[in-house]
Amino acid sequence: MNSKKISEKLGLEEDEYLELVELFIETSKSDLKNLQSAINNKNIEMISGIAHSLKGAAINLGLDDYLELAKSIEKTTRDGKLEETAKTAEIFQEKLDNSGSF
């Protein structure tokens, strides 16, 4: 993924874009924690709410990988496959952890 390219596409300065992505990652880390416990408690409404919020921000920033993961979380939850939701959430988490320098 090329941040310069995406930021150009979105009409933003590269450093401004990076700042937003950093904010996205920070926010998502705490969202993921909540998502984890929501999955443990089978709180469907909360899972959907968090996935919806993640999805919105991923679309905004053109982060297609995250977008696909968020969509998958929404879909598996709806289908009642919470185990898959948990797996996807883990992938999401790993991706966030490795994103340190983007």
Q: Figure out which of the listed residues 29, 37, 83, 97 binds other proteins, where binding follows CB under 8 A.
A: 37
* Separation CA 100–CA 82 (nearest Å): 28
Interaction between residue 19 and other proteins (CB under 8 A): yes
In the complex with other proteins, the residue whose CB is nearer, 4 or 78, is 78
75 binds other proteins (CB under 8 A): yes
Question: How far is residue 5's CA from residue 30's CA, in Å, rounded to a whole number?
Answer: 28
Min dist CB 30 to other proteins, Å, is: 9
Residues in contact with other proteins, shown as a per-residue x/- string from 52 to 71 under the rule CB under 8 A: xx-xxx-xxxx--------x
Kindly list the residues in this chain that would bind other proteins in the complex (CB under 8 A): 9-12, 16, 19-20, 23-24, 26-27, 33-34, 37-38, 41, 43, 46, 48-49, 52-53, 55-57, 59-62, 71, 74-75, 78
